[in-house]
């Protein structure tokens, strides 16, 4: 896909190549130029400064919950909008060197979260074999290749491809319902498609969060479904929160526009992160 300038779109993501973030970026636009960054904030800043057209950041995992660093980038650090959402199934693979034997493995590398997500598989398949933490799922393949022991890695298929390693087994995570939702940040949100979602945040200043009920009523009284609610600290004191809410519909839909205006009038700070096409889940 071509960007505004007619050039290939430049997509910032949390590197290195081979991570699930890169997989999400490719799912969003397989033709894009992919730019790895060392942090969520720096990937978002690249879009702000014009060094990239869009940034792809994980916002939620079905097992771990919200990615709070991304929420905080949206709240505190960026003037960007959410333009798309992408859901990537997390399929961990058992990866070894091209010429290695999976039955002679002496050590297993991965990110600690991935090792934890494959705990039962690893106990059964490799009882008593040592596990070593890597900085990312992708770095695990490099660590495996540099190891002086006969090593395996738990990694995304894409990382095995990039580093020329061999996938022995796919989908070795214990829980099959392992999905990560990513958002695509850009300088504008998405035009109306008819099946959209809108993300907003607001806080109540010194009022108690009790008026949250009144705010949610602005949506429910207009038949607008709430699809998600999160809270983050205002960073001023305990007991004061910023609420992040996803509702079904586009901010240009007449009833949604009315609801958003009513909410804005009742809260202290208010921000629309954007409207974008809703991902339709194939999971039950």
Positions in the binding site for a copy of itself (CB under 8 A): 60-66, 68, 87, 175, 177, 179, 181, 208-210, 212-214, 216-217, 219-220, 225-233, 235-239, 241, 243, 281, 283-284
The rounded distance, in Å, linking the Cα atoms of 109 and 140 is 5
Is residue 40 flagged as an active site residue?
no
Q: How far is the CB of 213 from a copy of itself (least distance, A)?
A: 4
Q: How far is the CB of 225 from a copy of itself (least distance, A)?
A: 5
Task: Single out the catalytic residue among 182, 204, 219, 273.
Answer: 182
Which of 8/234 has CB closer to a copy of itself? 234
Note the residue count of the chain.
284
Task: Single out the catalytic residue among 126, 180, 198, 219.
Answer: 180
Question: Can you list the alpha helix ranges (DSSP code H) found in the chain?
Answer: 20-28, 40-48, 68-72, 112-117, 119-125, 137-146, 157-163, 212-220, 254-266
Distances (CA, A) of 137 to 74, 94, 124, 130: 25, 11, 21, 17
The rounded distance, in Å, linking the Cα atoms of 70 and 21 is 13
Q: How far is the CB of 237 from a copy of itself (least distance, A)?
A: 4
Nearest-CA neighbor of 91 among 156, 140, 139? Answer: 156
Which of 13/219 has CB closer to a copy of itself? 219
Is residue 182 flagged as an active site residue?
yes
Q: How far is the CB of 102 from a copy of itself (least distance, A)?
A: 29
Which of 51/171 has CB closer to a copy of itself? 171
Which of 166/222 has CB closer to a copy of itself? 222
Distances (CA, A) of 150 to 96, 109, 161, 166, 240: 9, 11, 19, 14, 52
Q: Which residues are catalytic?
A: 180, 182
């Amino acid at each position: 896909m071509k960007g505004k300038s007619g050039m290939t779109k430049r997509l910032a993501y949390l590197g290195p190549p081979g991570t699930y973030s890169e997989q999400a970026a490719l799912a969003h636009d397989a033709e894009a130029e992919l730019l790895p960054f060392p942090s969520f904030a720096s990937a978002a800043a690249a879009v702000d400064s014009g060094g990239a057209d869009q940034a792809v950041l994980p916002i939620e995992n079905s097992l771990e919950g919200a990615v709070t660093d991304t929420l905080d980038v949206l709240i505190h650090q960026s003037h960007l909008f959410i333009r798309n959402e992408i859901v990537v199934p997390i399929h961990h693979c058992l990866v070894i060197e091209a010429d290695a034997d999976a039955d002679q493995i002496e050590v297993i590398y991965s990110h600690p979260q991935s090792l934890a997500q494959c705990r039962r598989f690893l106990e059964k398949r490799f009882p008593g074999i040592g596990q070593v933490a890597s900085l990312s799922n992708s770095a695990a393949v490099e660590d495996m290749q540099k190891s002086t022991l006969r090593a395996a890695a738990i990694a995304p298929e894409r990382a095995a491809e990039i580093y020329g390693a061999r996938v022995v087994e796919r989908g070795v995570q214990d829980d099959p319902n392992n999905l990560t939702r990513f958002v695509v940040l850009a300088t504008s949100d998405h035009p109306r498609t008819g099946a959209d979602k809108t993300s907003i945040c607001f806080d109540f200043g010194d009022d108690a969060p009790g008026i949250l009920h009144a705010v949610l009523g602005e949506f429910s009284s207009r038949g607008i479904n709430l699809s998600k609610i999160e809270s983050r600290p205002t960073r001023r004191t305990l007991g004061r929160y910023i609420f992040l809410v996803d509702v079904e519909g586009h901010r240009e839909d007449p009833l949604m526009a009315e609801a958003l205006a009513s909410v804005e009038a009742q809260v202290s700070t208010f921000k629309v992160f954007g409207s974008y096409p809703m991902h339709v889940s194939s999971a039950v």
